[in-house]
Amino acid sequence: MSVVMGTGTAVAALLIGTSLAALIGFRRRAGREHAERPAVPPPGDPLAVALLAGGTQRLTHTVLFRLHAGGRIVSTKRGHTVQPPRDAGPAEWADAERVLLRRGLGTTLTTAKAHEALTASAAAERLTSRLVADAFLWDAETTRRWRRLALGHGALCVAALFLAIVTGPEPYAPLAVVAVTGFAARYAFARLGRLTPAGRSALKSLRTEYESRNDSHWAALDRPGLHLGTEANGLGVALLGTKAIADAKIRRRINPDGGSNSGGCGGGGCGGGCGG
């Protein structure tokens, strides 16, 4: 009997190890393919930066902050109410901002409703497509193929753990160890995430630049969309989340969830497999 148990554990370890190796190999190949593409400068649009940094949740917070700073919404405990334009505001609003402005004067949206509207919008889809085309986000096919591999790995881990549980704690304890190790190794070594290596590098570069330079540096850049002047363009929110908003009241109203701070996986998901 012990020979059968040992053989079963060895087979499970082989299958789980093989599926983990396939995941790691797929991720490395995808990374190499992206590394061979021509380098593209980091995004020069705060809304694209927001989507890159934190998905549609971060995009929502950045849009709401920009509209608040431009006088187009008033944020209260009830939500965000669309206001008529004022002379000091931008002459043109980005497509993602117009998604909310088109709701009409006097319309009040909660942050959650604004997020729903932006997530379903063509404007967010266009921003996503642009980031994918520039190789900052994984394309849908790569993500889909990786998820299939990850789901297969997860199924093997779950099956091994289930078998270890139903057959009793003592004889199949090694099988449980194999299953749990498979779960842990998947998260430690085989995560794909939303961002490509180029996307992670661009985001790191932008954050470093943002945190280490003053306003005159930004004004001199050939990227007018990132010119700070004031924080009204929302680049700080795009890069760092709502913690970049100095006014605590506005910060709470734009991000009622508080602790999530604009999230890191909104919109694009973090992928699945061996537990998700």
Please name which of 200, 232, 168, 273 lies closest in space to residue 42, comparing C-alpha atoms. Answer: 200
In tens digits, what is the pLDDT along the chain, a chain of 276 residues?
Answer: 454 556 778 888 899 999 999 999 988 888 888 777 777 888 888 999 999 999 999 999 999 999 998 889 999 999 999 998 876 556 578 899 999 999 988 999 999 999 999 999 999 999 999 999 999 999 999 999 999 999 999 999 999 888 888 776 665 678 888 889 998 988 888 888 899 999 999 999 988 888 776 656 555 555 544 444 346 678 889 999 999 888 899 999 999 987 555 544 433 333 333 233
Q: Alpha carbon 118 to chain centroid distance? A: 15
**Domain of 25?**
2-36+139-189
- Strand-pairing partners, residue 154, are none
CB 66 within 8 A of CB 95: no
What residue type is 274 in one-letter code?
C
Domain-embedded: residue 264:
no
The pTM of this model reads: 0.77
Tell whether 180 and 144 lie within a shared domain.
yes
Residue 118 lies in a domain: yes
Q: Are residues 151 and 241 in the same domain?
A: no
The verdict on 126 and 247 lying in the same domain is yes
Tell me if 85 is assigned to some domain: yes
Which tokens go with 70? 């431009």
Residue 201 in tokens: 């590098």
Count structural domains, the chain: 2
Looking at the fold, whether 50 and 185 belong to one and the same domain comes out as no
- Are residues 120 and 201 both part of a single domain? yes
Residues 144 and 113 in one domain: no
Residue 275 covered by a domain:
no
Q: What pLDDT does 265 receive?
A: 41
